[in-house]
Chain A
């Protein structure tokens, strides 16, 4: 190899290295910009997801809540008969608890605003222990409360204290204690709850709902008899829209 060609080769290598260095620099900048853009987009999507699914705050005094003779509970302003929002729940069902936490305030607000007649149907969807027993004990105790407002407070209390699906929970002692905590003063409550006097009544109602096969699981929210999918029931803004639109149509 002559000296000239080796010099030329060296120059060529130097030029290549310089070009490569520049390219590496460009690559690094592109990488940083790309990662930054992706991060911003990810945060944006997350923010949107949280914002559009935010729960409502309770506004104003609750509309009257009345316990019916069949054990269902109606929450509506006097004279409001439509749209009917039927809520089928099980005290032991974790998804029901999640829905109450997410959308419970929306249902209450809509009732307060006179935009819906909300009807709670408590059933026992579970067929195996310990969930079945937990559900039956809680449902039976809740049926011992005749006052609507106290029932609603108890309903919330039970969800807040919902046991895991793998343990025995909703003990009679707790059920009685929680009743007193939400202000149940009725002297018959303790013996009714402790004696599980309403279990048969609850089971009868629950079986009636399940055998009608209108619902496939809990929670189910129906507006004028039509079930909402969970992307509506679990998204407060969508739930509100669905119910308000049902009132118009």
Chain B
């Protein structure tokens, strides 16, 4: 039987570290989810501008431009809301990480190709007028920061104040009972309990 680290007696110190780390996850969820939700909400009402912003990157074929232009704001709103309430946290964080990675690639490539476009991140977007300069560096730094938030959430979901915990959707069904102390019988409620069940 596998003995989990969490199954052994946990010192007060590592317990408080654990608590702090799960609050960090909550903060990362709120930042990433909040940005996504706002970005999606600002675009959802005018999908034609969103389509235009995607097209301005000149990376995707026209058919995909339409799909991404209409679909991205929906994905941003849904994933953003899920992250904020902590529902399907890990999957949402993975998707948002992929989305952020795509943004980073898009912006970096626009920069490298010398395009002069607005990223369209929060609505608007497209070609800039003369005299206006794109701010690619800031956009990239922001998206890398958000990517880091996503990575953190993927590593340590779902954090405090998460619906996943309330609904029992987390990987370990009884997280609170695992710290009860050593259980030589091999507590089946541990994360690896399913292995014991099938053997």
A49 on interface, CB distance cutoff 8 Å: yes
A95 on interface, CB distance cutoff 8 Å: yes
A244 on interface, CB distance cutoff 8 Å: no
B185 on interface, CB distance cutoff 8 Å: yes
A50 on interface, CB distance cutoff 8 Å: yes
When C-beta atoms are compared, the residue in chain B nearest to A16 turns out to be B188
Residues of B within 8 A of A21 (CB): 197
Contact B51 A98 (CB under 8 A): yes
Instruction: Report the minimum CB–CB distance from B127 to chain A (whole Å).
Output: 6
Contact among B46, B129, B167 with A231 in the assembled complex (CB-CB below 8 Å): B46
Contact among A16, A126, A235 with B46 in the assembled complex (CB-CB below 8 Å): A235
Contact B48 A99 (CB under 8 A): yes
Bound complex: CA A127 to CA B71 (Å): 33
Instruction: Report the minimum CB–CB distance from B48 to chain A (whole Å).
Output: 4
Chain A interface: which size bin?
35 or more
When C-beta atoms are compared, the residue in chain B nearest to A23 turns out to be B173
Contact among A20, A30, A103, A230 with B123 in the assembled complex (CB-CB below 8 Å): A230
Would you give the 0/1 interface string for A128-167, flagging 1 where the beta carbon is closer than 8 Å to chain B? Answer: 0000000000000000000000000000000000001110
Contact B46 A41 (CB under 8 A): no
Contact A234 B88 (CB under 8 A): no
Contact (A46, B70) CB under 8 Å given A98-B51, A98-B52: yes
B74 on interface, CB distance cutoff 8 Å: yes
Contact among A13, A41, A94, A166 with B126 in the assembled complex (CB-CB below 8 Å): A94
Would you give the 0/1 interface string for B179-199, flagging 1 where the beta carbon is closer than 8 Å to chain A? Answer: 000000111110001101100
B87 on interface, CB distance cutoff 8 Å: yes
Contact B52 A94 (CB under 8 A): yes
Contact A95 B126 (CB under 8 A): yes
Bound complex: CA A230 to CA B51 (Å): 13
Q: Interface segment, A31-39, A58-66, A78-86?
A: A31-39
Contact A49 B73 (CB under 8 A): yes
Contact among B47, B75, B88, B188 with A20 in the assembled complex (CB-CB below 8 Å): B188
Would you give the 0/1 interface string for A5-42, flagging 1 where the beta carbon is closer than 8 Å to chain B? Answer: 00001001100110111011011001100110010011
Residues of A within 8 A of B77 (CB): 45
Contact (A217, B128) CB under 8 Å given A20-B173, A98-B51, A231-B49: yes
Bound complex: CA A126 to CA B131 (Å): 10
Contact (A17, B82) CB under 8 Å given A30-B167, A49-B45, A94-B56: no
Contact A52 B45 (CB under 8 A): yes
Residues of B within 8 A of A217 (CB): 127-129, 132
Contact A23 B78 (CB under 8 A): no
A93 on interface, CB distance cutoff 8 Å: yes
Residues of B within 8 A of A41 (CB): 78
Contact among B48, B185, B193 with A9 in the assembled complex (CB-CB below 8 Å): B185
When C-beta atoms are compared, the residue in chain A nearest to B53 turns out to be A95
A-B contact pairs, 11 of them (CB 8 A): A16-B188, A26-B168, A38-B82, A42-B74, A217-B129, A217-B132, A231-B123, A234-B49, A234-B52, A235-B45, A238-B46
4 extra A-B contacts, CB within 8 A, seeds A21-B197, A103-B48, A234-B46: A17-B188, A52-B45, A95-B56, A235-B46
7 smallest beta-carbon distances between A and B, as pairs: A102-B48, A217-B129, A234-B48, A98-B52, A95-B126, A127-B130, A231-B46
